[in-house]
A = this chain, B = another copy of it.
Amino acid sequence: MVSIREVARMAGVSPATVSRVMNGTAKVDEEKAQRVQKVIQETGFKPNEVARSLYKKSSKIIGLVVPNIENPFFNQMAKMIESEAYDNGYRVVLCNTNDNTEKERINIQMLTSMNADGIILMTSDEEIQPEIEKCGIPVVILDRQITHSEGTVYIHGDHYQGGRIATEHLIQCGCTNIVNIKGPQIFSSGRARYRGYRDVCKKYMIEEQCLECDYNFKDGLLVAEEILARYPKVDGIIACNDMVAISVYKVFSRAGISIPGQVQLLGFDNIELSYLMTPELTTIAQPSWEMGRKAMEMIIGDINYENGKREFTFPVKLIQRETTIPQE
């Protein structure tokens, strides 16, 4: 691999001049520039990004820390962020924490010491706060929320409205016996959606019926069995996310209960799976594309922490598909 000094020697100029030709940072004599270009062509010289970033203290790398890359919600988000980053000349380093705080901490340190230009966090452990504050690079917390800290940007969907819309929709579908599968209450999303549900129940004088469930398929299976046992009269289920809704569908259809015939069902997140499955799942969608864009924008555009907004709530919307049937 040729270096800039090598190129300079071959073109009969100084390394500084080569650098200037490459980056257009200063005027260079046309004839010399030509020579440099020619040598670059011939040698296939590509500047060493590591050397560059050592001096510039910018690596053109964005760290994206997710709890689980296999989870469709996260990888969908990751794809958008990656694509947005790419278009702006940034690379994305994807880090998978597997819901492990220690791994999360190490990843943040690693990203810091590799001069990442920013970090997008989709995890939520409160303990990570100090790490964020001392890392000294822009951090955006996506989808989740922890205690606010100076210089951090929060981007998330309007989960409270999501909870309301879901509940209202099921009522509008004629359900009178709605069971709400709450998401983990340690997550802001879980709490906000629950509040939405609760407030709508109050509005219609409906009694709350809740269970709590982790955001994954396996736990969804368990909770679905529990509903089957404890709420025989259920006719509407709000699952805490699409994955859990899929579990519910499986358990209920195995038990011979038709969805949406006997029980109507809806989830959150609008993951790809929700329209791949048959019947297609009604769900509440976040504008994940816009959210990903905003996250990138907050990182690569100079974030003005002083005056700028630090929290962005994006509207959610109902995607009505086949697991619910609204009445006229």
Contact = CB atoms under 8 A, between A and B. Distances in A.
A249 interface: yes
Given A46-B109, A49-B114, A50-B59, A82 B94 contact: yes
Contacts of A277: 246, 276-278
B70 A75 contact: yes
A257 interface: no
A69 B66 CA distance: 14
B53 A50 contact: yes
Interface stretch (A19-27, A85-93, A145-153, A179-187): A85-93
Contact of A278 (B47, B83, B243, B250): B250
Contact of A69 (B47, B48, B75): B75
A253 interface: yes
Interface string A60-86: 010000001110100110110011001
User: What 3 A-B pairs come out closest when comparing CB atoms?
Assistant: A94-B94, A49-B114, A49-B113
A103 interface: yes
A52 to B, nearest CB: 8
A93 B93 contact: yes
Interface of A: 1, 44, 46-51, 53-54, 59, 61, 68-70, 72, 75-76, 78-79, 82-83, 86, 91-96, 98, 103, 109-110, 112-115, 134, 136, 217, 243, 246, 249-250, 253-254, 272-273, 276-278
A93 B96 contact: no
A59 B48 CA distance: 12
The binding surface of chain A is classed by DSSP as helix
Nearest to A94: B94
A47 B94 contact: no
A53 B189 CA distance: 40
Given A69-B78, A70-B72, 20 more contacts: A46-B113, A49-B110, A49-B115, A50-B53, A50-B113, A50-B115, A51-B54, A54-B54, A70-B75, A70-B272, A82-B95, A83-B98, A91-B114, A92-B93, A92-B95, A93-B93, A243-B276, A250-B276, A250-B278, A276-B277
A128 to B, nearest CB: 15
A61 B70 CA distance: 21
Contact of A79 (B59, B69, B86, B243): B69
A134 B1 CA distance: 9
A59 B110 CA distance: 11
Nearest to A82: B96
Nearest to A273: B273
Given A217-B276, A278-B250, A48 B110 contact: no
Contacts of A69: 69, 75, 78-79, 82
Given A86-B103, A112-B46, A278-B249, A92 B94 contact: yes
A72 B68 CA distance: 13
Contacts of A49: 110, 113-115
A170 B69 CA distance: 34
A7 B226 CA distance: 58
